[in-house]
């Protein structure tokens, strides 16, 4: 019976699928927001659409943004995605798959949608544990964005510092995320994490995202429903 | 002989034409950044291209973003643009022409370009005097964005808090802006401020932007080169 509404950034990956399920479990009506940002594959967005449907969202906005125009990342350029690295090798460096200012751009669109719809809560599945190399996944970055957002908008001017950026996964390990989602009935078989899937949508199993995901299911002691190549 | 490089947000209006001329006068190589964001008319972008050429920019990126998808503003919706208001009537309220989170989205793209090109300085022609009604034109908003930007990026992580958002017009009246630009040789006849130009590109003369512009030339005691309908 709640009137609570939330914007959820939905990539189609494991993390955002968990975030949307958590928001629904709290009784929020979800406005999902995804981006077509020059990904080399469409599997992730197909997954986002499926997850949005499964969570009975109020709306699912897919915004076209073209970061390829600027270049600068493996996810949108023709640089090879690194394969076969251990979690230790990934830790403490900024991955080549980092997209410049990506979360800032994504959250800015979320802020625009929030202001237009009169929504105060924005949920994003950033995680500071497994992706410590991404500067825009750190709690201090999120806090600074929230502060800026409240100064950027009418609600801020009107004294109602109401925009909140929620990061329910920020301190969780991948195994803990998978456990929470499983408890909420998330179908992880419908999610896509792989940076470099095959043309028919199977995960490569060897990129950083696949290895973190595999390890997460193993650590959680849960079966991994991912279709690997 | 300077190696200084700067990103300048270029709308094609009077303010950004002045900012780009100021950056060039400081010896900066300019990377201009404009947006096709669902404006109802193309005159502004045509002006941006002309201004970029006249300032011999290193590059001029025009990014497609579609805020119309979300709705919510006279500049991108079919709401009537207010006409015939005095400066006093415009002051102290948020204009209907406010685009939600627009400067946040624009600056986020500028941040992405800055990071990809290794540029530290971003110039934007916001002004807190004549447009006091826009929350994202206030100095405290800009300061918060700058702080967030340095946490969002590799340069921030690496301890080099180097991204700077420059707002050279923020405390200037329209007359002062016009005087500075005129001293630098800006051709204001090539700029477009009008919210509602005629199909052949003449300014309406009656919207808020036209009235502020007219008043600026009058206060500066300089001839107004604008082609009015």
The DSSP code sequence of B67-130 is: GGGT---TTTSSSPPPBS--HHHHTTS--TTPPTTHHHHHHHHHHHHHHHHT--EEE----TTT
The mean pLDDT value for B201-205 works out to 89
Which residue is closest to B153 within chain A, CA to CA? A135
Provide the 10 A C-beta neighbour count for residue A2: 8
Residue B24 falls inside a structural domain: yes
Residue A35 falls inside a structural domain: yes
Residue A222 near chain B (CB below 8 Å): no
Tell me if B104 and A138 make a contact (CB, 8 A cut-off): no
Q: For chain B, how many structural domains are there in total?
A: 1
Residue to mutate among A64, A101, A137, with most B CBs inside 10 A, is A101
pLDDT at A85: 73
Lowest mean per-residue pLDDT among A11-15, A209-213, B32-36, B150-154: B150-154
| Helix A102-117 with B102-117: angle, nearest 10 deg | 180
| Helix A139-152 with B102-117: angle, nearest 10 deg | 140
Residue A225 falls inside a structural domain: no
Residue to mutate among B35, B112, B132, B153, with most A CBs inside 10 A, is B112
Instruction: Supply the range of the domain harboring residue A68.
Output: 5-220
Residue B226 falls inside a structural domain: no
> pLDDT for B66-78, tens place per residue?
777 787 655 555 5
Chain center to CA of B197: 18
Q: What is the rounded distance in angstroms from the CA atom of residue B96 to the CA atom of residue B208?
A: 10
Q: How far apart are the first and last CA of chain A?
A: 44
Q: What is the rounded distance in angstroms from the CA atom of residue A167 to the CA atom of residue A165?
A: 7
Residues 45-74 of B with CB under 8 A from A: 61, 63-67, 69-72
Domain CATH code at residue A35? 3.40.50.620
Q: Is the pLDDT of residue A2 over 50?
A: no
Q: Is the pLDDT of residue A18 over 70?
A: yes
Q: Is the pLDDT of residue B2 over 50?
A: no
ipTM surpassing 0.90: no
Residues of A in contact with B152 (CB under 8 A): 101, 103-104, 135-136, 141, 144-145
Percentage of residues in chain A with pLDDT exceeding 90?
Answer: 60
Residue B165 falls inside a structural domain: yes
pLDDT at A95: 57
CA distance A144 to chain B (A): 5
Residue to mutate among A135, A147, A163, with most B CBs inside 10 A, is A135
CA distance B45 to chain A (A): 18
Nearest by CB: B148 against A71, A116, A144: A144
The mean pLDDT value for B195-217 works out to 89
Residue B188 falls inside a structural domain: yes
Which residue is closest to B33 within chain A, CA to CA? A70
Q: Is the pLDDT of residue B208 over 90?
A: no
Q: Is the pLDDT of residue A1 over 90?
A: no
Residue A229 falls inside a structural domain: no
> pLDDT category, B1, cuts 50, 70, 90?
very low
Residue B133: which residues within 8 A CB-CB, separation 6 or more?
B90, B91, B92, B93, B94, B95, B98
pLDDT at B221: 97
CA distance A180 to chain B (A): 28
Residue to mutate among A32, A148, A163, with most B CBs inside 10 A, is A148
Residue B55 falls inside a structural domain: yes
Residues of B in contact with A63 (CB under 8 A): 66, 69
Residue B105 near chain A (CB below 8 Å): yes
């Amino acid at each position: 019976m709640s009137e609570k509404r939330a914007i959820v950034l939905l990539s189609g990956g494991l993390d955002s699928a968990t975030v949307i399920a958590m928001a629904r479990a709290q009784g929020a009506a979800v406005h999902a927001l995804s981006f077509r940002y020059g990904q080399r594959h469409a599997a992730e967005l197909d997954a986002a659409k499926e997850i949005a449907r499964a969570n009975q969202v109020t709306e699912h906005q897919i915004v076209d943004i073209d970061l390829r125009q600027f270049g600068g990342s493996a996810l949108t350029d023709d640089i090879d995605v690194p394969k076969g690295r251990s979690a230790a090798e990934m830790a403490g460096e900024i991955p080549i798959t980092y997209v410049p200012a990506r979360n800032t751009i994504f959250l800015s669109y979320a802020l625009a949608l929030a202001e237009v719809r009169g929504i105060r809560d924005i949920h994003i599945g950033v995680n500071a544990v497994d992706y410590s190399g991404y500067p825009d996944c750190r709690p201090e970055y999120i806090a600074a964005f929230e502060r800026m957002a409240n100064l950027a908008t009418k609600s801020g001017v009107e004294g109602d510092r109401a925009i909140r950026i929620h990061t329910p996964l920020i301190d969780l390990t991948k195994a803990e995320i998978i456990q929470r989602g499983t408890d909420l009935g998330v179908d992880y078989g419908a999610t896509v994490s792989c940076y470099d899937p095959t043309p028919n949508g199977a995960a490569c199993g060897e990129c950083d995202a696949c290895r973190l995901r595999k390890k997460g299911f193993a650590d959680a002691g849960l079966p991994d429903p991912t279709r690997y190549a």
